[in-house]
Amino acid sequence: MMNKQVVIGCRICKDFYEITNGFIQIPNHLLLLTAYEPPDLDMLFYNNHTCTLCEQTLYITPMLYQFFVEFTLKPFDVTVHETSIGIKDSTNEGEMDLNEKEFYIKGVNTSRDLLTNDNDLSLLSDVMEEFNYKSWIISVDTLD
């Protein structure tokens, strides 16, 4: 069984690494992505997250912290992309367009209430205004 975790990474460094086809060697102690399990979220809130490569800092606001804590308890995964948020459970996938603020669902049943609710979508929408999602990779992984 997979542990519930919040994964954070610097999109700029990850994109640069992928553009160079991994040509640039990254020392083993430096990571592109860092996973935080629920017990680590309090320390993340106090210390923030700093990219080990470029030292850019993602400041963990109270709302971002609330999102991490609440969504590690949900029965679905959430991934923040550059222009959308993906939400996936065991049978359905949904996507919130960050420009349109609309939620689309793909999958077996198109009732979005099965995947998430208005409170979740409202929190997601508010959180996306709290940080630069074009610079950061964030996912909340709760599924096996």
DSSP state of 3: P
Rounded to an integer, the average pLDDT of 15-37 is 73
- Would you say the C-alpha torsion 131, 144, 15, 106 has a positive or negative sign? negative
Q: How far apart are CA 48 and CA 91, in angstroms?
A: 34
For the stretch 71-114, pLDDT in tens is: 999 988 999 988 888 888 887 788 888 777 676 766 555 555 55
Quick one: pLDDT band at residue 134, thresholds 50, 70, 90?
confident
Q: For the chain, what are the domain ranges? A: 5-141
d(CA 74, CA 7): 15
Q: What residue type is 48 in one-letter code?
A: N
Q: How far, in Å, CA of 109 to CA of 121, rounded?
A: 18
Residue type, 126: D
pLDDT band at 57 (very low <50, low <70, confident <90, very high): very high
